[in-house]
Amino acid sequence: MSRSESRTARLLREMRVSFVLALPLVLSQVSSMGMNIVDTVLAGRHGPVTLAAVGVGSAIWSVVILVSIGVLMAVPPTVSQLNGAGRRAEIGPVFRQALWLALALGVALVFVVRAGALSLGPMGITPEARPEAVAFLRAISWGAPGLALFFCLRNLSEGVAWTVPSMVFGGLGLALLVPLGYALMFGAGLGAAGLGYAVAIVLWCQAAAMATYLGRSRRFADLALFARFEGPRWPPIRALLRLGLPMGVSVFMEGSLFVATALLIGTLGTTQMAAHQIAILMASLCFMVPLGMAMATTVRVGHAVGAGDLSAVRWAAGAGYALAMLAQTASALLLVTGAAWLAALFTTDPAVIALASLLMAYAAVFQYPDGLQALSAGALRGLKDTRVPMVITVLAYWGVGLPLGAWLGLAREQGAPGLWTGLIFGLSVAASLLAWRFWRLVRRPLPAVSVT
């Protein structure tokens, strides 16, 4: 076999391994995104004002999701590196401290969401959508601690390369939300608030179910995850924060670019806001695929780092990049060819459908940079490299993407399409710099595995 054929065979084998690990994560992310889609579909059936209100509320709620995901992303690389190094006995104590961190984070985010509800007026959100958006945010805020705890529990399982529970409990949560959201919104007559309460209840149910599974599964028995009670201890929590806070900032910088864009579009009227909500939901749903692959890449890279195998680090990342680019090609084709049909699933308003279809064409353009930056960030997390990526994301999203989008969309009066142009440029800068950072680092010897 020639050298090129050997490398091709190795790449295909690595892609198969990554695909098997990533598929449940992708489906789990799709289930999570499905909650937003359910909310949007139900809100759209309730009326355009409710749809716009839920769009604004979902934008602020997404900050909670982003912060929770980002900070608690410290768990998978920490666990995977310990697992790769054969130090499984150290996983349980780290996990118990991560639970304390998740609980504190979730409680703090309750107040963040409620503060966001009070700021809708100063943000300039259209008055007709404001009351329903406030009601939605106040209701969904009660789910923030459940969300953070579920992410922590799920990340533990993913860190030891067992991703099926994420898929199962994500799917069950989505299945529960559909009837519960309908019952509280229409049956109980709570409108947007009913959707918020439904999501909060589902998140707590997911956390409880995942904790029960981890405590009873033989797969995790040797980790003794809940064998004893431990109070919070600052040194391990500090280590998790040292790793997780830069990740949280990085994820927040990307997500807040989309949030800020949504809030700016919210000042342009209900038609543009409703169209943006539909288009961004479809783009976000497509993003769940490279995000799940990035999460699998984090685990695979972290395990290789723990084992001290630099070659395996490179191959794991290369397989992730290849899979992500294939997925993004499919997503771009879907968004271009099916835009009008997809928009019609959410609304019958011709003006909203036309604008949403146009915005989906913009989304097709940023599929490749979005997939590239996601994979690069995931690979860097596996190396526990978080501070420089944080700086890169601040520069790309808030130094380039948002200012450019605001100038085009508002100053140049291009509206939502101008703001989406800013998204394309911000993601492209981040993708280029993060990819450069990863491949530069893997030319060096691997760092020692540490949890302090």
Give 443: exposed, middle or buried? Use CB within 10 Å, 0-12, 13-18, 19+: exposed
The confidence band for 448, taking pLDDT boundaries of 50, 70 and 90, is: low
Most confident of 255-259, 295-299, 347-351: 295-299
Q: 363 in a domain, yes or no?
A: yes
Residues contacting 77, CB < 8 A, separation 6+: 159, 243, 298, 299, 301, 302, 381, 382, 383, 384
On whether the CB atoms of residues 52 and 270 are closer than 8 A, the answer is: yes
Amino acid at 327: A
Which of residues 435 and 227 earns the better pLDDT score?
435
Q: Which two tokens stand for residue 325?
A: 């680019």
User: Residues in the chain, how many?
Assistant: 452
Q: What is the CA radius of gyration of the chain?
A: 21
On whether the CB atoms of residues 305 and 313 are closer than 8 A, the answer is: yes
How does pLDDT run across 55-105, given as a tens digit for each residue? 788 878 877 777 788 888 889 889 998 888 888 888 999 999 999 999 999
Q: What CA–CA distances, in Å, run from 16 to 81, 189, 293?
A: 21, 48, 12
Q: Rounded mean pLDDT of 335-352?
A: 87
Give the CA diameter of the chain: 68
pLDDT of residue 333: 95
pLDDT of residue 100: 96
Nearest alpha carbon to residue 378 among 91, 49, 22:
22
Q: Taking 50 as the threshold, does the pLDDT of residue 124 lie above it?
A: yes
Alpha carbons 355 and 98: distance in angstroms, whole number: 44
Alpha carbons 27 and 206: distance in angstroms, whole number: 15
Alpha carbons 170 and 30: distance in angstroms, whole number: 8
Q: 448 in a domain, yes or no?
A: no
Q: 392 in a domain, yes or no?
A: yes
Domain that holds residue 75: 10-441
On whether the CB atoms of residues 15 and 323 are closer than 8 A, the answer is: yes
Alpha carbons 319 and 297: distance in angstroms, whole number: 8
pLDDT of residue 48: 76
Q: Which residue has the tokens 């449940």?
A: 24
Alpha carbons 181 and 139: distance in angstroms, whole number: 12
Residue 437: strand, helix, or coil = helix
The confidence band for 216, taking pLDDT boundaries of 50, 70 and 90, is: very high
Q: Rounded mean pLDDT of 128-140?
A: 86
Q: Rounded mean pLDDT of 136-148?
A: 93
The confidence band for 4, taking pLDDT boundaries of 50, 70 and 90, is: low
Q: Taking 80 as the threshold, does the pLDDT of residue 266 lie above it?
A: no
How does pLDDT run across 365-375, given as a tens digit for each residue? 989 999 999 99
pLDDT of residue 446: 74
Residues contacting 361, CB < 8 A, separation 6+: 335, 336, 339
DSSP assigned state of 228:
S
Give the rounded percent of residues in the chain with a pLDDT score beyond 70. Answer: 97
Residues contacting 355, CB < 8 A, separation 6+: 271, 272, 275, 416
Q: Which two tokens stand for residue 438?
A: 């990863």
Name the domain count of the chain: 1
Q: 417 in a domain, yes or no?
A: yes
Q: Rounded mean pLDDT of 138-166?
A: 92
On whether the CB atoms of residues 41 and 47 are closer than 8 A, the answer is: no
| Dihedral angle of Cα 106, 146, 34, 370, to the nearest 10 degrees | 30
Q: Taking 80 as the threshold, does the pLDDT of residue 296 lie above it?
A: yes
Q: Taking 50 as the threshold, does the pLDDT of residue 410 lie above it?
A: yes
Nearest alpha carbon to residue 95 among 78, 113, 111, 107:
78
Give 345: exposed, middle or buried? Use CB within 10 Å, 0-12, 13-18, 19+: middle
Q: Cα 169 from chain centroid? A: 16
Alpha carbons 283 and 187: distance in angstroms, whole number: 31
Q: 68 in a domain, yes or no?
A: yes
Amino acid at 49: V
Q: Rounded mean pLDDT of 168-185?
A: 92
Residues contacting 5, CB < 8 A, separation 6+: none
pLDDT of residue 3: 55
On whether the CB atoms of residues 139 and 181 are closer than 8 A, the answer is: no
Q: 118 in a domain, yes or no?
A: yes
How does pLDDT run across 6-44, given as a tens digit for each residue? 788 888 999 999 999 999 988 888 887 778 778 878 887
Q: Rounded mean pLDDT of 416-435?
A: 93
Phi and psi at residue 259, in whole multiples of 5°?
Answer: -65, -50
The confidence band for 192, taking pLDDT boundaries of 50, 70 and 90, is: confident
Q: Mean pLDDT over all residues of the chain?
A: 88
Q: Taking 50 as the threshold, does the pLDDT of residue 1 lie above it?
A: no
Q: 5 in a domain, yes or no?
A: no
pLDDT of residue 212: 95
pLDDT of residue 451: 58
Q: Taking 50 as the threshold, does the pLDDT of residue 426 lie above it?
A: yes
Alpha carbons 56 and 183: distance in angstroms, whole number: 22
pLDDT of residue 327: 93
DSSP assigned state of 177:
H
Alpha carbons 166 and 79: distance in angstroms, whole number: 16
Alpha carbons 52 and 58: distance in angstroms, whole number: 10
Q: 342 in a domain, yes or no?
A: yes
Amino acid at 305: V
